[in-house]
Chains A and B, each alone.
Chain A
């Protein structure tokens, strides 16, 4: 399967701080999707990026697809305790999942 790496693996932030997770591939991706998995839950679709350089926003979340379509990022502005969970990127036609970034928000 396609290798998709995410960094960091873990991130602890104070509530109100920003958070960014990065997804990197050695090959060009046709598209990339982002998912959030709450503790004890299943992955929930957040967004799909298709175009080179694409930027999409969902309230405090900003998603970006790199110009070369080999990397992507998810940025959360002013984190809240409800943002706690693991964020995964997924790529390829079978959507191979990245290693994930576990976010902890300290109140």
Chain B
């Protein structure tokens, strides 16, 4: 199994600013992902964080808005850039040990943009 921590757990930010969310896994994992979840909604995959290379973004998400880093096998960051109120959401980091393996989630970062 893997234990995932995220920082910050929550934040209130002003529009136009940027926030970087950190995700730390307690063991080396093959794959890391970033999701967004609106209250009462399902999870939407933002991107796959690739170690040592550019992240793979899903349709509707771009690198300029959501730059992602993954410098090693246990750590990743997601930046929400030039925020607007529409970016208010819960951002979840997840990790998997293999292509078909069990997926673990961090506790999430609750972001409110005013």
Contacts and interface: CB of A to CB of B under 8 A. Distances in A.
Interface of A: 1, 30-31, 33, 35, 41-45, 48, 50, 88, 90, 93-100, 102
Interface stretch (B17-25, B75-83, B100-108): B100-108
Given A42-B92, A42-B107, A42-B108, A94 B45 contact: yes
B95 to A, nearest CB: 11
Nearest to A100: B42
B59 interface: yes
A34 B27 CA distance: 23
Contact of B102 (A30, A45, A102): A45
Contacts of A102: 40
Interface residues of B, number: 22
A97 B42 contact: yes
B30 to A, nearest CB: 12
A31 B98 CA distance: 13
Interface string B46-74: 00100000000011000000000000000
A68 B108 CA distance: 35
Given A1-B59, A30-B100, A44 B42 contact: no
B42 A93 contact: no
A42 B94 CA distance: 10
B43 interface: yes
B42 A88 contact: yes
21 contacts: A1-B58, A30-B100, A31-B100, A35-B103, A42-B92, A42-B106, A42-B108, A43-B105, A45-B102, A45-B103, A50-B100, A90-B103, A94-B45, A94-B58, A95-B33, A95-B45, A96-B45, A97-B44, A98-B42, A99-B42, A102-B40
